[in-house]
Structure 1
Amino acid sequence: MKYLKLSRLLLVAALVTQLGACGYGDLHRASADVDRAWLDVRHAYEADTRVAADALEVAQREPGMDHTAMDAANLAYLRANATPLDLKLAGDPQAFDQFKRTRAELTGALHRLLAEAKKHPALQGKAAIAALERNLREQDSQSQARVRYSESVTRYNTLLSQFPERVTGKLLGFDPRPQFVRTAEGVS
């Protein structure tokens, strides 16, 4: 009986010491890097969402604004913000694709709203409209955050495809992470 307990203890100790050699630590660090990069993406999108909300509020108060553009922008805003920007989203390829589509729809609707707002001189001096225009023109914070996220996902997915990390990843539930993809229209 003592011999059986001792042999089990030695087996567990041997397995624990081998975890470093099987790539678990590297996978865990790479996964944490992806999570941190996703949080940067989340913060960038949240900041852009605040700018869009302010501009929508100002534009809604303007008499004579095209209701079609306003309704489209409001609907796109609601759709884009219906998906919580949590870490689960970054690990679910279908939800991630939906997130990218709704964000692209929002960007398009905001561009159309901005074009409509330019027809109204009273809106030209509004800080919220100027901030939206600047935000849509530059998109720096989102772009930089997406690049950092994509680079960390590339490192993680590459590590996950190598031996012995591939085996460790399969056994411990490390799955590939989705990427932002550059298309002819931009990043989706």
Structure 2
Amino acid sequence: MTLKHRITAIATGMLCMAGLSSCNYNSLVDKQQTVDQQWAEVENQYQRRSDLIPNLVATVKGYATHEEKTLTEVTQARANATAVNINANELTEENLQRFTEAQNQLTGALKSLLAVSEAYPDLKANENFRDLQVQLEGTENRISVARGRYTEAVKDYNTAIKKFPTTIYAGWFGFTPKPQFKATEGAQTAPTVEF
């Protein structure tokens, strides 16, 4: 093989590699955009829940005057949850963990608030309270769906950056693994229900 043929073969090989990496790069950009979009939807649904809470607290406050501690806990948990904002570019295991813990604290406080309502029949009969409960339940379902879609997008993205040959140059272009939601402690064990 002559020098000219070798140079042509090397140049052709390099062009093929550049073409493949270009196609894969664009695919990774698409996948990263999907992850970012799904994360924005997760935040949107948590914000929706947060926006419902002041109305829920105000409604309960009118009926459950002796439940100041529970109302304060819900208000504080909401403040803590809304204080933890994560930009899609800052998604790390630690940041996602902080976000999840703050949201779980709010979920626990909301459960306490709804449990308090059981002791107040007039509150349970209040149409505004019932509407807020339905909206909150719907929002919790939307959060679950948004988290599921985010998890699926992250799985697709993380798998793509770990596959050969993409794994060779994904790091060069700044594509790093994205964190997944983790189940809360005790979620693997079904609760015991007695009738």
Q: Match for residue 7 of structure 1? A: none
Provide closer, same or farther for how the CA distance between residues 48 and 176 of structure 1 changes in structure 2, counting only shifts above 3 A.
same
Question: C-alpha distance in 1, partners of 2:64/2:101?
Answer: 31
| Residue 58 of structure 2 corresponds to residue 57 of structure 1 | yes
Provide closer, same or farther for how the CA distance between residues 177 and 128 of structure 1 changes in structure 2, counting only shifts above 3 A.
farther
1:61 Cα deviation after fit: 4.0
Question: C-alpha distance in 1, partners of 2:54/2:47?
Answer: 10
| Deviation digits for residues 63-109 of structure 1 (CA, Å, limit 9, x no counterpart) | 523122112111111101101253245x2221110110111110110
Residues 64 and 120 of structure 2 are in contact (CA less than 8 Å); yes or no, is this contact kept in structure 1? no
How many residue pairs are counted as aligned between the two chains? 173
Of the structure 1 ranges 54-63 and 140-149, higher mean CA displacement relative to structure 2 is found in: 54-63
Q: Match for residue 36 of structure 1? A: 37
List gaps (5 residues or longer) in structure 1: 1-9
Letter in 2 for 1:100: T
Q: Match for residue 74 of structure 1? A: 75
Q: Sequence identity, in percent?
A: 24
Provide closer, same or farther for how the CA distance between residues 126 and 46 of structure 1 changes in structure 2, counting only shifts above 3 A.
farther
Q: Match for residue 130 of structure 1? A: 130
Superposition pairs of residues 14-163 of structure 1, within 5 angstroms: 14=15, 17-20=19-22, 23-62=24-63, 64-89=65-90, 91-135=91-135, 137-138=137-138, 139-163=140-164
Question: C-alpha distance in 2, partners of 1:128/1:152?
Answer: 37
Question: C-alpha distance in 1, partners of 2:61/2:48?
Answer: 20
Residues 159 and 165 of structure 1 are in contact (CA less than 8 Å); yes or no, is this contact kept in structure 2? yes
Question: C-alpha distance in 2, partners of 1:52/1:162?
Answer: 44
Q: Match for residue 3 of structure 2? A: none
Provide closer, same or farther for how the CA distance between residues 137 and 63 of structure 1 changes in structure 2, counting only shifts above 3 A.
closer
Question: C-alpha distance in 2, partners of 1:104/1:131?
Answer: 23
Letter in 1 for 2:106: L
Provide closer, same or farther for how the CA distance between residues 156 and 117 of structure 1 changes in structure 2, counting only shifts above 3 A.
same
Residues 42 and 143 of structure 2 are in contact (CA less than 8 Å); yes or no, is this contact kept in structure 1? yes
Q: TM-score, normalised by structure 1?
A: 0.79
Q: CA RMSD in A?
A: 2.5
Residues 84 and 102 of structure 2 are in contact (CA less than 8 Å); yes or no, is this contact kept in structure 1? no
List gaps (5 residues or longer) in structure 2: 1-10, 189-195
Residues 52 and 136 of structure 2 are in contact (CA less than 8 Å); yes or no, is this contact kept in structure 1? no
Letter in 2 for 1:20: S
